[in-house]
Amino acid sequence: MIDLDLQIDKLSKVGPKQAQKLEKLGIKNVRDFLFHFPARYDDLSKIKKISELKADENTTVTGKIIKFATKRSWQKRMKIIEIVLADDTGEIKAVWFNQDYLIESFSYSYNKNIRLSGKVKLDKNGFSMSNPVWEPVSKSPNHTGRIVPIYPETKGVTSRWLRWQIENIFRADFEIEDFLPKKILEKYNLPSLKKALYDLHFPASENSYLVAQKRFAFSDMFLIQLKSLQIKQNLKNENAQIFKYNKKITEKFLNSLPFKLTRDQQKAWREIRKDLNRPNPMNRLLNGDVGSGKTVVAMLASIQIAKANSQIALMAPTEVLAYQHFKSFSDFFSDFNISIGLLTASYKIIFKNGNEQKIKRDEMLDKIKTGELDIVIGTHALIQKDVAFKNLALVVVDEQHRFGVKQRAYLQQSVSNQHKSASIPHFLTMTATPIPRTISMTLLGSLDVSLIAEMPKNRKPIATSVVLPTKTAEVYEFIRQQVNKGFQTFVILPLVEESEKLADLKAVLTEHERLSQEVFPEFKLGLLHGRMKSTEKENVMEDFKNKKTQILVSTSVIEVGIDIPNATTMIIEDAYRFGLSQLHQFRGRIGRGEKQSYCFLFSKRSTKRLRVIANNLNGFKIAEEDLKLRGPGSFLGVRQSGLADATMQNITNIKMIKAANIDATKIITADPELKNYPLLSQSLKKMNREIHLE
C-alpha cells in the first residue's frame, strides 16, 4: 500500500533530477501522478494479423522476433536497430534510430513474442514500422495493445515513462477517499473516485474513459457551484454602506448627456441601484458589447457614491485605458463638483473645479487618505500597500479578466481590514468581452450579471470584409478618399508571442515607415506600441483625437478603451492571427459616431473564422461561434484556469451545470460551512488555491 502524500523524490525509481522535471508538470507527490490526466488517447487495442495490415494505419501486431541487427547509416553518424517480426501470416520490419538502450532489450527478447504498435508503411520490400512502441507479450498491455493514454510531457519525461510510474502506483495499491457524497454518485450513476482514476489511465474502452471524464467534469462543476454559492452566502453576511437613490442628481446627470440611455443601460442601472440600496455588498458583472455604453452606467453608480461623501476606486488593466477613463469621467463630471485622481506608474493627476493638475505621488496618497478625492482611477498602482482610502464604498474593475485573482480581490476584501471598517465596498466589474451564457453560469456564478447587448441609436452597422493580398491597393485608395473627406483611420498589426516582442516592435515601425513613405505620403501618420512611454502614448492619442494625424498605426494596445468618433476606417493586418473576440474588440474602436464605418481584415486567405466576423456584428453571437470553433479551453485561455481538459469540454453542458447547481444548493442551504462534509470542504479549499474563480 502506497501513501499518496509521499513526495516523488522518495520513490525508489525517481531520482532528484527526474523529480525536478516532474515538478514542471505539477507533479510533487504520488497523488499528483494519479491526477496528471491524459491529454488524449491512441486506440491501439485492435491487434491485427500481419497479412491484414494496410498502409498508413496505426495498429498493433504480435509476433516473434526472428531477426535482430544493428547498423550504421552511410554517414556513420546514426545507429540503426532493426528487427523482423513474424506471425503465422507474414513478416514486418521495424527500425529505431539512435536508441542504443534498445540493443540489450532486443538481445534478450530475440526469438520471443512481443507487441508492436505504430504507423504501418508499405513499399516494395513489404510492411515496416519506424520507431514503433513495443513491449513483451508476457507483460500485460500498457504501451501497446490497448487504448493508450498520451500525457502532457516535458523534456526528459515521456508518456511511456509516466504510464510505467502510474502502473506501479496501481500495482502497489492505495487508499483514496471520495469527496463526492455517495448519494450524488448513485443519483447520476457516476463511478467512485478510485475507479474513475483507473479508467482514465487504463481504459477498457472508449466509453470507460468518457464516463470517467464525465465524473471529473461533474465534480469540478459541483465544486465551482459550491464555491459560488458560498461567496453569495458570505456576502449576505457582510455589511456594506447603503446608498439611497439620489433622484435629483441622477436626473441632472442624465439631462447633461448628449444622448439617451438605451433600454439595456436603463435596466442595468436599475439593477445596480437596487444593489447599492441593500446592506450587503454588491457583486455584479456589467457585461456589455463593444461601444454599448458600460462606462456611463458605472458613472451613474459613481455619482451616487460621490455625492454621499464616499469614495470610488476604478481599476483598469493599462495606463492607456486608465487615462481614457480619467478623461471621460473628468468631462462628464465637470459640472458636478466631483474631484477625480489618476494614479498609475506614470501619471499622478487630479481634476478639481474644472482644472487638471499634476502632483507628486505623496500628495496624491494624502488626498486619497483624507478623502479629498471622490474618485480615484488607476492601474495596479491602486493596490499598493501605501494606498489607503478614507471611505471607499465602490470598487469598479474594468476588463476584470486581465487582472490576477488576488489583484481583483484586494480592493474589496482587504480595504475593510486595513481601515478596521465594519463594512466592505460594493463591487462592480465590467467587461467588453461578451461571455456566453453557459460560461457565465459556470465560472461566474458568484456574480450577478447585467447584460448590455443593445447598441446606442443612430449607430450604423460597420461594413466588414476580408481582403486578400490582390485587393489591398483598392482598400488603400478607398481609405485615401475617406481621409480626404476629413475622416481618420486605424491600422492594427498583430500582437505576437512574448518571445517575439522585438520582432513585433520592428514590424510596426517598418509598417509605419512603409505606409508613411510609399502608400500615404500626403498624410500624417501616428505610431503607437506597447514599448512607448506613457507620456508618448498620451501625446500620440491626443494628436489623433485632435486630428493632427490622420492615420494611426498601432499594435493591439488600442484593443479597449480608445474612443475616437471621427475614426471611420480600420485595417487589421494578418487578421487570422487574432481570436474572434479580439477582432471584435478592435473593430469596436470605429463606428462610434453617426457616420458609416468600414473594417478591412487583411489576410492571406479567407477562413471560416474571419467570415464569422465579417458576417456578424453582435458580440455575443461572435463569442458563441468562437466557443464552437476553438473550444472552451482556447476561448477562455484556460491554461491559466487550472481546470482539467475534461471539465473544459463539458463547460457548455447546460444539463450538467444545472444538475451540479441543484445539488450544491441543497448542501449549502442545509450546511453553509460544510461541517458535515469534511472531505468536500477540504477539496473546496484545494480548488480555491488552484482554480481561477471570480
In a domain, 272, yes or no: yes
465 Cβ contact partners less than 8 Å away, ≥ 6 residues apart: 598, 599, 600, 601, 614
Mean pLDDT for the stretch of residues 45-60: 91
In a domain, 117, yes or no: yes
Answer yes or no: do 417 and 478 share one domain: no
3 state DSSP class of 201: helix
pLDDT surpassing 50 at residue 694: no
644 pLDDT band, cuts 50/70/90, is low
* Per-residue pLDDT, 499: 39
* Per-residue pLDDT, 12: 76
With residue 72 as reference, give the H or E element that holds it.
strand 58-72
CATH number of the domain at 317, please.
3.40.50.300
d(CA 651, CA 659): 13
* Per-residue pLDDT, 437: 65
Answer yes or no: do 509 and 427 share one domain: no
Q: Which of 236, 261, 234, 238 is nearest to 250 (CA)?
A: 261
In a domain, 196, yes or no: no
In a domain, 345, yes or no: yes
Mean pLDDT for the stretch of residues 301-312: 96
* Per-residue pLDDT, 203: 95
| Boundary of a domain, candidates 571, 592, 616 | 616
Answer yes or no: do 233 and 253 share one domain: no
233 pLDDT band, cuts 50/70/90, is confident
pLDDT surpassing 70 at residue 285: yes
With 0.75 as the threshold, say if the pTM is over it: no
Answer yes or no: do 233 and 255 share one domain: no
* Per-residue pLDDT, 577: 82
Answer yes or no: do 230 and 251 share one domain: no
The domain total for the chain is 4
Answer yes or no: do 530 and 586 share one domain: yes
Q: What is the DSSP letter of 7?
A: B
Residue-wise pLDDT tens digits, 440-453:
666 666 778 888 88
Answer yes or no: do 64 and 88 share one domain: yes
Answer yes or no: do 549 and 575 share one domain: yes
d(CA 463, CA 113): 67
Mean pLDDT for the stretch of residues 569-588: 87
Provide the edge-to-edge strand list for the sheet that holds 463-467. Answer: 463-467, 598-602, 567-572, 488-492, 551-554, 525-528
Q: Please, are residues 600 and 569 in contact by the beta-carbon 8 Å criterion?
A: yes
Answer yes or no: do 423 and 497 share one domain: no
d(CA 395, CA 284): 11
Answer yes or no: do 273 and 379 share one domain: yes
pLDDT surpassing 90 at residue 336: yes
410 pLDDT band, cuts 50/70/90, is low
Mean pLDDT of all residues in the chain? 85
Q: Mean pLDDT lowest for which of 257-261, 412-416, 540-544?
A: 412-416
pLDDT surpassing 80 at residue 651: no
In a domain, 637, yes or no: no
Q: Please, are residues 216 and 185 in contact by the beta-carbon 8 Å criterion?
A: no
Residue-wise pLDDT tens digits, 603-642:
988 788 899 999 988 887 887 777 777 665 554 444 434 5
Answer yes or no: do 216 and 262 share one domain: no
* Per-residue pLDDT, 595: 87
In percent, the amount of the chain with pLDDT more than 70 equals 88
pLDDT surpassing 70 at residue 689: no
| Boundary of a domain, candidates 565, 594, 616 | 616
Mean pLDDT for the stretch of residues 523-528: 94
CATH number of the domain at 66, please.
2.40.50.140
428 Cβ contact partners less than 8 Å away, ≥ 6 residues apart: 272, 282, 284, 286, 298, 301, 394, 395, 396, 397
In a domain, 131, yes or no: yes
In a domain, 633, yes or no: no
Residue-wise pLDDT tens digits, 546-567:
999 999 998 877 655 567 889 9
Supply the range of the domain harboring residue 213: 207-237+653-690
In a domain, 190, yes or no: no
Residue-wise pLDDT tens digits, 180-227:
999 999 999 999 999 999 999 999 999 999 999 999 989 988 988 888
